[in-house]
Amino acid sequence: VIENAFDIGSVQMIWGQTLYLLAEVIAIPPTGVLMRVFTLRRLFLGGLLAFTLASIACANSGGFAELLVGRVAEGFAGGVLIPIVFTSIFLLFPPGFQQSVAVTVAGFLAVLAPTLGPLIGGWLTDHYSWHWLFYVNVVPGVFGLYFGLYALPKQAMHMDEIKRLDYFSLLLLAVGLSALLIGLKYAPRSGWLEPFVLGCFGLAWGSLYWLWKRPNPVIMFHL
């Protein structure tokens, strides 16, 4: 349906999901240090607000390029929210029964979302329009902002922590993961030994190997 709306081919359409995943995997590693800098509460509210606004922007896209920009913003915000949600469970619920139930519910919802997503998306597209694939995120986003505003503890920011972020390691990680994901996307379609695919895998290996050799590159992963 989106292909027809923007008059694009299936190959171009793949980039909508690919760019979302790229932004998501790039956003996850530095979330730990960003959480220390901006605090759990501010980062959660900011990430959820960004995701909700990006969903609205995607629904109101006037062209495919605008949709791609919105998907990148969605993916980055979603990547920030993934580790925050599970971190919040261990901070908000005491060890024992409550924490176990919370982890179980969060894990169940994490598995349920990609399972029901295509079914709900197909139903919304058939009965309404493709715009509702993104508008459906607005109501949960508003409720999440409301409860996060009152449930998450207030803490002081630590801007000095951002100096510890290894920006070059982050760049290497972004390049490596992006090249790996693009290679895996194109390999089944173009062939695993195609020069472009091999080039992607080579760039991924080189970037991640260089990252591994850097002194203490995992500082950005620490929570």
Q: Rounded to an integer, what is the distance from CA 223 to the centroid of its chain?
A: 18
pLDDT of 87 reads 81
Residue 78: pLDDT band with limits 50, 70, 90: very high
Report the predicted TM-score, pTM, of the whole model to 2 decimal places: 0.84
For residues 26 and 52, the model is more confident at 52
pLDDT of 223 reads 40
Q: Which residues of 140-149 are buried (b: 16+ CB within 10 A; e: fewer)?
A: ebeebeeebe
Q: How confident is the model over 155-211, as pLDDT tens digits? A: 888 888 777 777 888 888 889 988 998 898 888 888 899 999 999 999 999 998 888
pLDDT of 152 reads 85
CB 196 within 8 A of CB 214: no
Window from 9-18, 64-73, 78-87, 154-163 with minimum mean pLDDT: 9-18
Mean pLDDT to the nearest integer, 134-154: 90
pLDDT of 53 reads 97
Residues 6+ apart with CB under 8 A from 2: 8, 13, 16, 67, 130
CB 74 within 8 A of CB 53: no
Handedness of CA 127, 130, 134, 135 (dihedral sign): negative
Average pLDDT taken over every residue of the chain: 85
* DSSP per-residue codes, 73-90: HHHHHHHHHHHHHHHHHH
For the chain, the C-alpha Rg in angstroms (whole number) is 19
**Percent share of the chain, pLDDT over 90:** 30
Mean pLDDT to the nearest integer, 123-146: 88
Mean pLDDT to the nearest integer, 127-153: 89
